[in-house]
Amino acid sequence: MFNKIFPKIHAEGYKFLVIAGIITIILYSFSDFLGLIGLVITIWVYYFFRDPERVIIEDNNYLVSPADGEVIKVEEVDGPKELSLENKRFKKISIFMNVFDCHVNRTPCSGKIEEILYKPGKFFNASLDKASEDNERNYYKIKDFHNNDIIVVQIAGLIARRIVCESNKDQDLNQGDRIGMIRFGSRADVYYENYEPLVKVGQKAISGETLLAKK
What does the pLDDT average to over 50-64? 92
The pLDDT of residue 105 is: 94
DSSP 8-state class, residue 83: G
The answer to whether 132 and 82 have CB atoms below 8 angstroms apart is no
Predicted TM-score (pTM) of this structure: 0.86
Measure CA of the first residue to CA of the last residue in the chain; give whole Å: 35
Mean pLDDT across the stretch 51-63?
A: 92
Q: What are the extents of the domains in the chain? A: 2-48, 62-214
CATH number of the domain at 62-214, please? 2.70.70.10
pLDDT digits 0-9 by tens, 68-90: 999 999 999 999 999 999 999 99
Helix (H) or strand (E) holding 51: none
Beta strand 89-97 pairing with 186-192? antiparallel
Is 186 marked active-site? yes
The one catalytic residue in 110, 132, 186, 207 is 186
Mean local confidence (pLDDT), 168-176: 95
Residue 210: pLDDT band with limits 50, 70, 90: very high
44 CB-near residues (< 8 Å, 6+ apart): none
Task: Return the closest-CA partner of residue 66 out of 210, 169, 197, 172.
Answer: 210
162 contact partners, CB below 8 Å, separation of at least 6: 156, 182, 183
Residue 135, pLDDT score: 82
Predicted pLDDT of residue 211? 97
Dihedral sign for Cα atoms in the order 61, 67, 68, 71: negative
For residue 154, list its beta bridge partners. 138, 188
